[in-house]
Structure 1
Amino acid sequence: MKTKSTLTELEEVAELANGNIGAFNQLYERYHQRVYANILKMVKAPEYAEEILQDVFVSLWQNRFNIRTGESIGGWLFVVSFNKSLTFLKRRLKDSIEFVATYPFEIAEQDDTAVDETYRLQIAILEEAIDELPKRKREVFRLCRYEGKSKEAVAEQLGISPKSVKDYLKQSNKAIKAYVSMRYPYAGETTLLLTWLGMW
């Protein structure tokens, strides 16, 4: 029998869906550094990034029974951390003209009751677009974006050159954005999420 420390990520996700706190802790250890780094890129302030990080993982625990098993949790964390960072920016935009200058794009208000539905929609749209990628590009995208691996590590894992990884990633970003723009032109904040995706 496998111990907690030897569970695969998919096994951890399945255990999380059963309310296993140990699996939650393992997923936190697996992902918290990458999620924090991505939040920090958006909010720019370490103290706020840390708060948002904790909020993301609180949400993961609160939504543990709704998580889809058999899939990586990376996409869920990616979308939720983006949205929580965006909510933070909305508050700051109201409070600071200087902050508006730092983030000069218009952000619409969102009813709090619609937040969960927005997360689900964005995750579904992003996953749909990723599934349309050729197999190798899909692998590169998930390893780099969701799992936070370096281009060099992905190149070694897949037996390709770092330049190929860079090219696949660039092509994947472009293809995903084009797919969403074509299929979901009124997807609202999903467009901002994809802009963030390009710098992740």
Structure 2
Amino acid sequence: MPDKPSNIEQGVLQQIAEGDEASFRELYARYYPQLRPFIWKYTGSALQTEDILQETFIRIWLNRDKLPEIENLSAWIFKVASREYLTLLRKQLVYEEKLATLNINMDKDGDLAPLTPDDQAHLADIRRVIGEAVARLPEQRRRIYRMSRDEGIRIQEIADTLSITPRTVKNVLTTSLKEIREHLAASGYTFMIPLFLFLKDY
């Protein structure tokens, strides 16, 4: 039997489908603590884990109109997260090697519908705004952020490369995330703020 959402949860899903950001934050607060250790198990990287979670909740938001129709919400959300993980593996060119470590049922039940052109444009705009925030960081701070986020370099390695302390790297990353949150808020992406408020990479 599918694990159908409770009446209370169903009401929250309907509200999210209608664009209610407070209900989306409620969903986020419920599933973030469950997804984080699940993704961490496979990435072994706090930063990559948070990147995957960020993309997962963006995808959920963009597909929010389908939420009331989903019978097994937890399985669907975990499937979204697992697919974002696979996307990361492809980008790292180690997909074939690491796919065997991800023992997840990837059948067609509950598949995501392709993003509409409007959804794709919305997602591209979110990424553009985040890119703007990163570009506005001071040069050294931007370099550290990109080494960590884009290259997946660990804090200790960054510190060794730049001849600074790991604590300095952590402080820079924390400050960078704060500035990205502020830029998102200033650009009108208030629904994204919960994702960045709970980033705990460092």
Q: TM-score range by the shorter chain?
A: 0.3 to 0.5
Relative to the length of structure 2, the TM-score reads: 0.45
Larger RCO (alpha carbons 8 Å, 6+ apart): 2
TM-score w.r.t. length of structure 1: 0.46
